[in-house]
Every structure is written in C-alpha cells, then in structure tokens.
Structure 1
C-alpha cells in the first residue's frame, strides 16, 4: 500500500505523519472540509519542509493554519512576489515562516513551505476547504477523501522542479504508523434515503424529521490505506432546493464574506429518449507531420507519437458499429484519403483500413488541417448517417483560428 503523507522535505522525503482527523459537513450538494494533520520531525537535524495538497476545479481552500510547538500561525493572502520575498527574509533570519501557493506545474495542487522544523518539533496543520459534490449516474452524491496524490500527477519531464514528482515509500498495511478519524454531518431538506461507504463505519445516526440530517463516523483505528468514498442518496434528489446564508456579521455587508448569499440546486429528472438507429459517418484525421516522429516523452525507449496515435485509431476502427460509413485522412503539408469517399463499414473494409493504418508514416511535412477538413464538411451528407470527425494531432496546427471557425460554422450539423 502507498504511504500517504503531505509534508515533505526539500529532498522529497516524507516527514513522519502521526494522525489525521477530518471533520466533514455536507449541506445539499456542497461539502465543507476541515482536515487536521499532525507531524513530527524524528530526525536529528532541522528540516525545511513543504506541505502538498491536491485539489480540483470544484475545490476552494479558504483557511490554512499551523501550530508549531504551541505557536499558532494563520495564513493570509498577499501579493505573490511580496510573499516570496518576505518568506525568504524570515527563513534566513531563523524564523519559521509558511508559504502557501499553487504548484508551479499543476494548478490543482497547493504547496505550502513550512520552513525550518527543529529536531523533535511537532507540527499540526489544519486545512479548510469547500467543495462542490457531483452526482453519479445512479443518483448518489459522492465525496472522496484522497489517501495520496493521484498517479495522474506524475511528471515525465524530470527537468521540471515540482513537488508532484514524489518517490513515495511502499509499506504493508499493518505497518502504517497512523490512523484516520473522520466524522461527517449531512443535512438536506431533500431527505436522506441511505448512506454508503467503501470503508467500515462505526455508526450512522439519522436525525430530524424525514431523515433530513445524519452523522456518520469511520470505524475507530481506520488505516488510511485507500481513498475514502462516501455515497449519499437523497430521497427527493430531483426536487429544487435553496440554501441561504446571512453572511458574517463581523465583515462589511458589501464584501463577499459579509453579504448574504443564496445557492439554488436543481437536478432535473430528464426522461430517457429512445436511442437512434442511425449509425453515422466517422471520418478520422491522422496528423502525419514531421513532429509526429518524436517520442511521447523524454524517457528512454518512449513510444513515438505516430505509433501511439495509430494504435488508438486501430482500436477505434475495430469498435465501429456495423452498417456505418467511415474514411481516414492522413494530413500534413498535403493530405491523402484512404478512400475516394466514405465506405460502408464491413469486416473486409475494416481489415483493409487497419492494414493501411499500420503503414502510415510521419512524412507529410507541416500540419495543414483546414483544407481536408473543408473537403469533408462541404461534401453532400450521407442520409441517415450524421457526420462525426475525429482528429489525432500533437498540436501546432496551421491557421488554427480558421480551423476553429470552420468547425463552429458546421457545428449545428456535424460533430
């Protein structure tokens, strides 16, 4: 299992994590989260450490506090340049400054420099954020507490200095040196039908009329070895609801935090429509410019871009529905079509196309997409087979604004 920790040294070794406590408050479709993490410097030398926290586009961090050996530090918003300058001055002066900022290479990761940690020093970090929760296809509202940084954050470009390129130690589950406690309070006038979790719960206590609120807790001593996924099923999930907050009286009434605000949640119940029997016309554009000869990454023996694109195209060709129509264009400074016009998809035509895809090379010079795109868009449509276009490219397409304009002009008829 992956050892989950967010406090790391300058050489990206983890600082010893002792405990994690999370308080979760879910109101309708929004979660307020307060996470407290306790760390200790078990080394015999001072450590300069930084804290890493992954977020997404629906998450906003609004509070960050640190308690270092009984001294409380509260983060405040400052100009980026001035904050860096102040941090460096305080650090060189022997103080214990903190610096919270977005990671340079990923805007959905927060990084906080925690400064100098003396041997035996204990640090308590409290992070508070709000997060919009999404509904799954089965109607469940889903909250996820990540146990570690998601693998999608791994960077192949080793020359870039980022807090995300971590070598995380692997330990058996029974050797994890800490546990997680989590208490969640859920409230909604929609009524709560049921609550599920992928981790053991100690209890689920429903309160309020018609089960409009509930409190759940993780089982005591829970090992934080995987993401915690909490699923909430509301009874009247499709009913519109309004949440009103009066604002903070200690703030000015015309400020964001001081003014009253309202949130309207509307999740319509749209009946399913009968699936169309139309098969469609599928046209694939494969970038065969010179840049497609390059490898996907700087790693040794990395696959070439053209080869990766060809593998994906072959997979798509083998997945098309029988009875549809398809064609393939290779484009660069010039363009070449597999067939004079789109052909009906059969086992024979598919196999013939797959063999031609395997022979495609990155030998057509530049990246001129506009001309073949216009040719496809402006030809007579095949009745009952709406056109769908797929483009494989590594970018740098010539006349990109005209390409976008062309696609936009035909967007009402083609996909």
Structure 2
C-alpha cells in the first residue's frame, strides 16, 4: 500500500554522508547502515533519490568486518548474477539506476543473516550549479515522491512506488551529514536549509566545516548554499589519467575541465519577437504547499501568480499560449495568439479560475501537441514548463524534447521537494534551455522572470570553442559543443587530451568565441599543461558522466549505437548508467537457504500531503470522476481505511471553494497592481489603482500636473514609483513590467514625462531617483 507504516523492524538503521566541496565540484560518500534484527535471513530493498548529474563511481560493502568491493557490469548481467548468488546461498548487493529516470537509484541487500550488520558505501561526484546570487548549490535529496505512470492505451495511469512510503516525520532511520568546503578564494558564507552545528571557518576562511545538528528530520531535502568571494573567474583544470589504463582511452589520457563565465552585455531593448508557450502542471499534487512551513502558499497558487507576472511581462507583438496538463491537457487558445490587451485579458481571466484539477502527471501528450503546431515565421518557440516533476516516463519525455530541440528552447522549473532532477534538467539540456528548482521559501516568480529575461535577450550565435595546444597534442571534446549561451550563465565543457604531453613548463589556451547582435566576442584562458593527480579521478568521472548524459535515453529507450558507446564509457570509467549496475558478492557466506528470504522493503520519506493528494486524485481521475466528485460520495473500501493527520491533506480538499481561493490569491497588493497593468505597459487612473496605492481617486486626479496629458501617463508614473518604494527588494520580478511602462511613458507623454515624474515623486513623498525613468 502507498501509505504503509512499518510495524516490523526496518533493516536500514542510518544513512551517513560525508561531503567534500572543492571550488564548484562536490565529492560525496554516502553509507547505508543495515542490521537484521529478525530471526530469518533477509533481503532488503531501498529506493532513494539522487541528483541526476551525479556520477556514481564506487560501491562497496562491509559485512561483519569483511570488505567487498562491487564490480560494474552490464545491467541485465548484474541482475542475473545477483539472483544466482542469492539462490546459491551467497550474500549479494546490487546498486542500479532506475530504468525510467536518471535520478532514482535502488539498492538490494540480499541474504543478510540474523544478527548480521552491513554498511554499504556509494561514492559520487557532481558539478554544483551556480545560482543567480552567486551561490553554489548542493542538494542531498531526501524526499522521494511517487512517479506518475503514463497511461498507455486502455491500461490507465497510476502511481508507481517500488517501496512503501511513510510521512517524512515517521522515517525509521536517521541521517547525518558532515561537509568540508574549500576554495582558493575566500568563503564568504555557507547556508543550510536544515539546522546545523556552529560552522567552523579555517585557514583565513578558505575552508569551512559544516555538520547537521543531531536529530535531523526527513521533512525536506538538505540544501547547502556556498558563497565564495569570487565565482566568475574562468578556469581550466587538467587531471592526470591512470598510467595502467589503455592508451588513447578516456581513463588513460589526461582530461580537462573548462569553465567559462562569458560577460555577455545586456541588450537595452529586448526582442519583441517570439512564441511563448507556458506549460503548467495542474495535477493533484499541485495542491500541496510550496514547503512544509505553516502557513505556506499552495503550489497552484504560486503557479497562478507566476503566470500573471509572465503574461504582464511579455512584449507587445509576440505570440503566446498557455497549456495545463494532468491526466489530460487543455490549452487557452487553439493556436498561439498575438499578444494584445484583449488576448491578455482573456488569458488572465482563465488563469484566475485555474485549479489543480486534472488528475495525474502526463506531460508527453501536451508536448507532442505543442510541437505539432506550425511554427510562426520570425517568432522562435520558447517553451516554459512548470511541474513538480512526478512522472515515470522521464526518458520518453526527454527524447521528445530532444527530437524537437532545433526548433525551440525549453526553460524548465521543478516545483517543491521531490521534483525529478532527471526530468527538469534533461528537457532543458536537450533543447539548449535552462533549468531551475524552486524549494523552501524561494519564489517561483523570481526564477520564472529571470528565465523570461534570458529568452528575450538577443540570440548568441556562431558559438565555437578552439584550442591552442603544442604540436603533437590535441583535444577531443567529450561534452556537446555549446550552441547557446545565456547572460549570467556558467559554461562547463570536458575534453580528452590525446597525443604526447609536452614538458612541465608548457601551456595551452582555449578560446570561446560567439557573435551577439553582429558583434564578435572572445573569451580566452591560458592554462598549465602539467596534469594534477587525483586519486578519485574527479574530472575523468565528470567527463564520463557528461558524455553518458548526451547518449543515455534509458534502459529501454537508448538507440543501439548510442547504447554501445554508453556501455563502453560506463564500463571503462566505472561510472554507472541506465545500462550498467554495481554488484558485490560475498562468497564466504555459503549457507544453504532454509526456505525463501524474508523481503523487507525499506520505506522512503515522502511529503505526506503529496502522497495522499496524488493517491486520491489519480485514483478518482482514472474513474473519470475527478470533476463530478462530491464530498458526500463514498470511496472504495481500500481507500476508506486510510488515516489522515489532523493538519494533513483532506481528501475532499480539491473541491475547495474557488471564489475563496481566488480571494486569498488576489489579496496581495503587488499582485493586484500587476493585474491592473495593461498589455502595452500602462495603467489606467481608476478606483482599482487608487485602492492598491491606498489613496483617494479624487486626490490622484486633482494632483495631475498637466491637464492636457492623458491621465494614463500620470497613473503609470505613480505605479512605477510605488513599485520602487514598496517592493524595491523584488525588482527582479517586476523589472520587465517596469521596462514596458517606462517605454510607454516616453512614447505617449513625450516632453511632459519629466514633469510628470517630478510631480509624482512629490505627490507620493517618495525618495525614488527620477533617473529610473530614463529612456
């Protein structure tokens, strides 16, 4: 059952994680400690999330003092060997990536005798993404939400959980984490989403030590934000290969990791062209809170507010449409429409009545529908996908996006803990877009508007990477050639250096070139060609992972030629893929089995409200009763027995009064002001604006300094100044709105604009610098 509470002792006792962050790369060692407290031999099965960028390269077991190092094998072979070992009375351990998603792993512990203890350690490395404020972000996923299975034909969709799930507060095992952060640049600060012991800064703040406070609860992912004094310095790191490895192999040759931070200037006049399609998750789980704090905005509320921001921020002259998806999907317009005051108002009206009422999470069909539409000449498609990411056919979705990658860019947003990193990052990578995750107290609006700003910037063209190396040495790219670069984005690529390495004092150069609005730009970095030794072969592992990600479309989806390459690199470098698995067998334990093993499925932590809402909503939608369901209707017997926490999710809650929902939603003055802005960027001088500004409409009309000027010019100036006065710290969210407003003021008020601004500053008793209205 989905909500099983374990009554028997759970063999997984604790998880301990050791984390080492050097610059922007994390090395992680996670140990799962098992103990069989029962009377019979045991097989334990545990499913857990992991960031899909993780390059898992080591797996070993220590059983009652004996160490067994796992071997990486082709997945089918590993599974067969595991079953054979168990049947022969041996002890076996299997670690594999899920067939359908690159961010879910499973661990099998086979034949653990009564009283026996086993410590299983897996190691991985990953790049850390760079946030807009300069933070490097590490996330240890703790929450694993169920994945919704795509319905195929008449089979119907449903929730897929390979192990039981329990509310995060009831997880029967503990988690500890100790981290060391080091950098050649000073560490400004380290922040954590969970309670930590006092942070120790060492060596002039070039290193820091952090550990979780005792009693950590699995009520959220563990997130670290690391702020260095300098993060935008381009660099090249060269790592020595393995001397014993075969020549001209990835592990035998040196590997280079190149990091660029192109200083792309911001265009003052964003492009007005483009077809902007917003694909919004309206599945049942979107009725969950954004975080576990009380009170917390519901995900669907944050999504609706975000859509209002996006609609108001679009440039006049573009095209747009909005899709909602769940078990089915619907669009606001049959085709994308031109952005005008009329179409914006139509869309706004539908956004305000939108709800999380479409059942499951099936994203593939709406994507196909969007891609089937005829392209609009001169308006490249920009797709914005918002989802909590609980889908099971991840690789199928990524493949669909990739097959249409040349005709659009996809900006993806993972909402809340448990969102699939494999889906969110995969669809962005497949289309040259960008991925964002919204967790904790982060606002969806700020990240969505940042992505919209990127999409409105002129396209960077003719991107190329060239190497200047000594004779006899060449660079073989392991990452895809960069095709798109966004302002403020870091670019990381990997290469294999083949040929003869020169003397120690030799240097090389790598150059990034691109064209922006007819101007050519160039970033060049010189680096030493003396490779550094690293026992963990971090750069080689990351390079292998980068290569695998471009080819691996899942256990069942990868084309034969690509599968052959993935297997070769995976096996050669010891980095797991969807086609390989780690297996360890302890043949010292050779006791004939007395009957079958007792199976123990270790429960995974889940945000409780998410699990219940998805179970109820997906069940009802499969009976086509989602829209007609009434609180007095009876549930099938199997669902009547479910218990709900007093502060948890009410199974009837999805019939919540929509007018009340909208009332709460529109109570925010900032939302109210944005809702009143017109498509061209202006505001009308009316009672609605007066209420938001907290003023009398009569006083506002009387204060109009130039009677011959349209009152909308006066209203627009007042609105912009109010934004600066009241919500200055949220400028990233209304900057595009302001830009439209200022452009409108200058085109309509003309020479009277300066007078309007001066009068408005005085009328509002504001300290805003009139320079914000400069054209």
Normalised by the shorter chain, which TM-score bucket? 0.5 to 0.7
Deviations 1:41-86 (A, max 9, x none): 2333332223434233311100011222333222112233332332
How many angstroms apart in 2 are the aligned matches of 1:405 and 1:318?
26
> SS in structure 2 opposite 1:42?
coil
Matched residue, 1:324:
316
How many angstroms apart in 2 are the aligned matches of 1:102 and 1:213?
33
1:122 to 104, 107, 117: 117
Q: Which has the higher contact order (CA 8 A, sep 6+)?
A: 2
How many angstroms apart in 2 are the aligned matches of 1:178 and 1:338?
51
Deviations 1:67-106 (A, max 9, x none): 2233322211223333233222211111112222222232
Matched residue, 1:214:
208
How many angstroms apart in 2 are the aligned matches of 1:247 and 1:285?
45
1:192–1:234 CA contact under 8 A, matched in 2? yes
* Greater mean alpha carbon deviation, residues 229-238 or residues 81-90: 81-90
Matched residue, 1:166:
163
- 2:374 matches 1:373: yes
How many angstroms apart in 1 are the aligned matches of 2:369 and 2:223?
46
1:185–1:213 CA contact under 8 A, matched in 2? yes
2:232 to 215, 232, 238: 238
Q: Residues 346 and 38 (structure 1 numbering): CA distance in 2 closer, same or farther, change over 3 Å? A: same
Matched residue, 2:94:
99
- 2:73 matches 1:82: no
1:281–1:324 CA contact under 8 A, matched in 2? no
Matched residue, 1:396:
none
Q: Following superposition of structure 1 onto structure 2, how do residues 287-302 of structure 1 map, counting pairs within 5 Å?
A: none
Q: Residues 232 and 318 (structure 1 numbering): CA distance in 2 closer, same or farther, change over 3 Å? A: closer
Q: Residues 17 and 373 (structure 1 numbering): CA distance in 2 closer, same or farther, change over 3 Å? A: same
Matched residue, 1:293:
none
Matched residue, 2:634:
none
Matched residue, 1:145:
140
RMSD: 5.1
Q: Residues 81 and 191 (structure 1 numbering): CA distance in 2 closer, same or farther, change over 3 Å? A: same
> SS in structure 1 opposite 2:123?
strand
* Greater mean alpha carbon deviation, residues 114-123 or residues 13-22: 13-22
Larger relative strand fraction:
1
Quote how far apart the aligned CAs of 1:28 are.
1.3
> SS in structure 1 opposite 2:165?
coil
- 2:226 matches 1:228: no
Q: Residues 220 and 240 (structure 1 numbering): CA distance in 2 closer, same or farther, change over 3 Å? A: same
Deviations 1:174-194 (A, max 9, x none): xx6544332212222233111
Matched residue, 1:48:
43
Q: Residues 353 and 125 (structure 1 numbering): CA distance in 2 closer, same or farther, change over 3 Å? A: closer
2:182–2:206 CA contact under 8 A, matched in 1? yes
Q: Residues 87 and 152 (structure 1 numbering): CA distance in 2 closer, same or farther, change over 3 Å? A: closer
TM-score by length of 1: 0.65
Unaligned ranges ≥5, structure 2: 285-302, 324-332, 355-367, 386-399, 409-457, 460-775
1:338–1:353 CA contact under 8 A, matched in 2? no
- 2:50 matches 1:69: no
Matched residue, 2:340:
344
Quote how far apart the aligned CAs of 1:370 are.
9.4
Quote how far apart the aligned CAs of 1:200 are.
2.6
1:329–1:338 CA contact under 8 A, matched in 2? no
Larger relative helix fraction:
2
How many angstroms apart in 1 are the aligned matches of 2:16 and 2:120?
11
Matched residue, 1:308:
none
Quote how far apart the aligned CAs of 1:231 are.
0.8
How many angstroms apart in 1 are the aligned matches of 2:249 and 2:405?
41
How many angstroms apart in 1 are the aligned matches of 2:89 and 2:22?
44
Q: Residues 193 and 159 (structure 1 numbering): CA distance in 2 closer, same or farther, change over 3 Å? A: same
How many angstroms apart in 2 are the aligned matches of 1:164 and 1:98?
21
> SS in structure 1 opposite 2:91?
coil
1:108 to 103, 109, 127: 103
Quote how far apart the aligned CAs of 1:245 are.
3.1
Matched residue, 1:191:
186
Q: Residues 119 and 133 (structure 1 numbering): CA distance in 2 closer, same or farther, change over 3 Å? A: same
Q: Following superposition of structure 1 onto structure 2, how do residues 304-323 of structure 1 map, counting pairs within 5 Å?
A: 320-321=311-312
Quote how far apart the aligned CAs of 1:16 are.
3.2
Q: Residues 94 and 165 (structure 1 numbering): CA distance in 2 closer, same or farther, change over 3 Å? A: closer
> SS in structure 2 opposite 1:106?
coil
Matched residue, 2:19:
24
Q: Residues 284 and 73 (structure 1 numbering): CA distance in 2 closer, same or farther, change over 3 Å? A: closer
Matched residue, 2:200:
205
How many angstroms apart in 2 are the aligned matches of 1:258 and 1:348?
58
How many angstroms apart in 2 are the aligned matches of 1:284 and 1:107?
27
Q: Following superposition of structure 1 onto structure 2, how do residues 253-272 of structure 1 map, counting pairs within 5 Å?
A: 255-272=249-266
How many angstroms apart in 1 are the aligned matches of 2:372 and 2:57?
49
> SS in structure 1 opposite 2:92?
coil
Quote how far apart the aligned CAs of 1:373 are.
1.9
How many angstroms apart in 1 are the aligned matches of 2:246 and 2:235?
28
Q: Residues 349 and 24 (structure 1 numbering): CA distance in 2 closer, same or farther, change over 3 Å? A: closer
Quote how far apart the aligned CAs of 1:122 are.
1.7
- 2:124 matches 1:133: no
1:190–1:239 CA contact under 8 A, matched in 2? no
